[in-house]
């Protein structure tokens, strides 16, 4: 797709960078324009570009006489004029990351990079940063790999939330499982999505008590009455401000990978 392409201009070019002062360069360089309008001008020396403009507001080009490219952002302008053009092309691009499977739609490689992306058709699946994409077990019936994610229990779910929903799984396990800790409230905590998953009082707006569900599995009960979670950084209460998570603990059931 052209919107996901990297544009490349190579040749003998004059490069002018203006940002209050003016700097001019000339040489055989290669200019890359990334899909987010970041412009990078590379010469033969070193890894750092000769000139660049990050996420330009606009990038325009003309091919009437040779080739010229103008990128602008706020008060900065980057101009590239080709005196002798070696080539100009669009190359398809995609996210790059660790391979985790095969796309069931096009047989392209699925890679983990800010989610899971197909390098061929561009399909993207949002995956929580703490989730582990499983490559050691059978895929979902839809053909996608599953992910392991801890939100009170260890859940193994399809990458496609429309196929298997993390919200539904956590709601089934913990909705109204815990009472609101406010002294004058008799409400239960519901599982809700407010940006992330939270356990929020059902008496809202009369009671606005709510806690973000941590990445971990329930390991016992805090002295305050809320559950404790075993996380990568240790045992903590559902209430991140509580300093008593170790005072009362219960034997936790082992998390299931089923």
Q: pLDDT tens across 114-134, in order?
A: 899 999 988 999 999 999 998
State the first-to-last Cα distance of the chain, in angstroms, to the nearest integer. Answer: 39
Closest by Cα among 111, 38, 112, 115 to 73:
38
Q: Which CATH architecture has domain 2-92?
A: Distorted Sandwich (2.70)
pLDDT at 108 over 80: yes
Check residue 250 and give its pLDDT: 47
In the prediction, which pLDDT does 253 show? 47
pLDDT tens per residue across span 144-182:
999 999 999 999 999 999 999 999 999 999 999 999 999
3-class SS at 185?
coil
In the three-class reduction of DSSP (H, G, I as helix; E, B as strand; rest coil), residue 13 is classed as strand
The overall pTM is greater than 0.75? no
For 126, which DSSP code? -
Residue percentage of the chain with pLDDT more than 70: 91
Helix, strand, coil: what percent of the chain each, to 5? Answer: 5, 50, 45
Q: Which of 153, 154, 106, 149 is nearest to 126 (CA)?
A: 149
Tens-place pLDDT, residues 42-68: 999 888 999 999 999 999 987 666 678
Domain map (residue ranges) of the chain: 2-92, 98-170
Q: What is the mean pLDDT of the chain?
A: 89
């Amino acid at each position: 797709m052209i919107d996901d392409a990297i544009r490349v201009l190579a040749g003998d070019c004059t490069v002018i960078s203006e940002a209050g002062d003016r700097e001019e360069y000339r040489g055989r360089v290669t200019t890359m324009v990334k899909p987010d309008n970041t412009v990078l001008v590379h010469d033969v020396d070193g890894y750092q570009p000769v000139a660049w403009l990050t996420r330009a507001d606009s990038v325009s080009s003309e091919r009437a006489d040779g080739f010229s490219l103008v990128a602008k952002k706020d008060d900065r302008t980057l101009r590239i004029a080709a005196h002798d053009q070696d080539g100009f092309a669009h190359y398809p691009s995609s996210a790059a990351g660790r391979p985790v499977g095969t796309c069931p739609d096009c047989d392209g490689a699925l890679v983990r990079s800010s989610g899971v992306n197909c390098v061929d058709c561009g399909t993207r699946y949002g995956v929580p940063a703490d989730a582990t994409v499983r490559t050691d077990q059978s895929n979902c019936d839809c053909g996608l790999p599953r992910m392991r994610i801890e939100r009170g229990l260890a859940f193994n779910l399809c990458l496609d939330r429309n196929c298997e929903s993390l919200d539904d799984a956590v709601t089934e396990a913990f909705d109204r499982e815990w009472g609101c800790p406010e002294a004058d409230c008799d409400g239960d905590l519901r599982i809700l999505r407010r940006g992330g998953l939270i356990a929020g009082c059902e008496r809202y707006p009369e009671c606005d008590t709510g806690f973000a569900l941590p990445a971990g599995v329930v390991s016992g009960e805090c002295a305050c009455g809320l559950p404790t979670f075993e996380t990568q950084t240790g045992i903590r209460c559902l209430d991140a401000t509580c300093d008593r998570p170790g005072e009362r603990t219960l034997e936790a059931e082992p998390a299931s990978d089923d």
